[in-house]
Structures are given as structure tokens and as C-alpha cells.
Amino acid sequence: MSIVVTGATGHLGRLVIESLLAFGTAPGDIAAVVRDKEKAAELAARGVELRVADYDRPETLADAFRAGDRVLLISGNAVGQRVPQHTAVIEAARAAGVERLAYTGILGGPDADLQLAAEHKVTERLILDSGLPYTFLRNGFYTEVYTEALAPVLEHGKVIQSAGDGRVASASRADYAAAAAAVLTGDGHLNRAYELSGDTAWSFAEYAAELSRQTGRTITYENVPAGTYREILTGAGLPEQYASIFVDVAEATGRGALAGRTGELAGLIGRPTTPLADSVAEALAAHPA
């Protein structure tokens, strides 16, 4: 039996593997499903097994899983293509006879009303229909969604959103990765859904204030109409499809859809979730001066 992490060279996948190793899982008991072995050379050097497969090439997934494996399906990032991609993984996992399948979905599951939720809802239904023992990790928003977009904020001295006074109960990718590792290595998680979010819900005015505090500069929050926000995003080169998603997320934030704090993430990882201030500090340290 191996613990298998798909999308293992992505941001979340690498952190899941780091968490598994930190939990004491032997490298040889971890299998990383990757498209490119070269990108995973560092994992192989540490003793992690590499299994080469591609969500978009179902035939390659036949050898990605073994009977008895515990598998984490990290959702693909190609919006609009994820249902066929996830279907291929689920079918391959079922054919192999894996012990359990964990899936990184979205906070709210079938009740989520974000555009981003549509493919996650279908995937959860596919997993249920497959008959595989499952765990749904319904992840809230990653703080890095915001802190990794610091360049324009620091350039213009403004956090621009169309979320009003809405709040986001985000957590770091490392927090969500640790939760996935806890589920993959522990017992009592079968056929359960976890609603995962940060311990504290913050507003964009508070985010701007934290940036101001840590940079010593005046960073303000500017709330703009949805149409203006869309124009700003597309003007910066974001494709219309993704601009529409960001505008939808902002609107959902404004009505409180991302503010829910369940405590389940902290419960799984056995510690408080990462504070916004810590994520801001990490992002600023990584940002070119």
C-alpha cells in the first residue's frame, strides 16, 4: 500500500508530500503522480516513488494506482476541463481497487454557489457513484491567492476588489496540505466530508492595513463596481473566463459566502490555522525589493 498524491509537483501537492514526510511517513511509502519526471527529480532523490501519468491522457493512469493505495486527487487547475480529467482519475482508481480516494473540493460542497464550485460538485457526485471509500476535503480559499498577487498592490499602493466589506476565512496552502496528510495517514475519515477554512475571517480593508503595517507604506483598499473590477482584470491580461470567475468570487465575498469558520481545519491539523499576518510576511519576504 502506498499513499499516492496526484498533481504532486504543483503548489499544494508538494506541500502534501512535505506534510506526509513530517508526519513520519517513509518516503518509499509515498508515490507521486507527475507528468514530468524531471520536475519531480528532487522528490525521487528523497526516495519518493514517481508514477508518470497525465489527467488529459486516461491511458497513462492505468499504472498510476495499485490495489490498497490511499489516493489524494488534487483537483486540476484547468477550469472547464476538470470533469473529464477527474473522471479519468476516478475510473482508474476504481479499476485498480484503491483503498480510499480523498478529493480536494471547495468549501460548501453541493451547497456552494460560486462559479468555481460547478466542476467540484460534479466530481463529488462521480466519486459517490463510483462506490469508492472517500473523503471530501472541501477547501476554503488559500491566502496565497491574494498574497501572491502583491506586485500591482505594492506598485499602486492599493488593494482593489469589488467585495465591499466582505470577509474571507482563508488559510495557507500548508494548512490545507497538512489536513490532507492527516486524512491520508489517519483513521476515522472514510466517507466523510470536511468543510475546511481558516480560524479568522479578514476583510480587504484589514488586509490593506496589514500590508501597510509590514511595509511601512500607505496601502489602501479601494472597492470598485463589479464591471470596473472586470475591466481592471482583463486590462491586466487575465482571460475573460478567469476574470468572470474572480468577479464572481468577489461578489460572493461581499455577501459573506467565504467568511464561514468551521474549526474543522484546525481540528484536523491539531493547531491554529496560519494567521494572515504570517502569510503576508512570507509573501513580502519572497517579493523582490
Helix residue ranges, H only, the chain: 11-22, 41-45, 82-96, 117-130, 144-147, 150-156, 173-185, 204-215, 226-235, 240-254, 264-269, 276-286
Inform me whether the pLDDT recorded for 50 exceeds 80: yes
166 Cβ contact partners less than 8 Å away, ≥ 6 residues apart:
203, 204, 250, 252, 253, 254, 255, 256, 258, 259
Q: What is the pLDDT of residue 256?
A: 94
Q: What is the pLDDT of residue 79?
A: 85
For 255-284, what is each residue's pLDDT tens digit? 999 999 999 999 999 999 999 999 999 999
Inform me whether the pLDDT recorded for 117 exceeds 90: yes
Strands 49-52, 30-34: parallel, antiparallel or unpaired by DSSP? parallel
Sheet containing strand 3-5, edge to edge, reads 49-52, 30-34, 3-5, 70-73, 100-106, 134-139, 192-196
CATH number of 3-139: 3.40.50.720
Domain ranges of the chain: 3-139, 147-167+199-260+274-283
Q: When comparing pLDDT for 157 and 80, which is higher?
A: 157
- Percent of the chain residues topping a pLDDT of 70: 100
Report whether 60 contacts 93 (CB < 8 A).
no
Q: What is the pLDDT of residue 282?
A: 96
Inform me whether the pLDDT recorded for 53 exceeds 90: yes
Inform me whether the pLDDT recorded for 253 exceeds 80: yes
**What whole-number distance in Å separates Cα of residue 67 and Cα of residue 132?**
12
Running DSSP on this structure, what letter comes out for residue 2?
A: -
Torsion sign over Cα 202, 270, 33, 91: negative
Q: What is the pLDDT of residue 289?
A: 62
Q: What is the mean pLDDT of residues 131-160?
A: 96
Q: What is the pLDDT of residue 287?
A: 83
Which CATH architecture fits 147-167+199-260+274-283? Alpha-Beta Complex (3.90)
What's the whole-number average pLDDT of the chain?
96
Report whether 253 contacts 167 (CB < 8 A).
yes
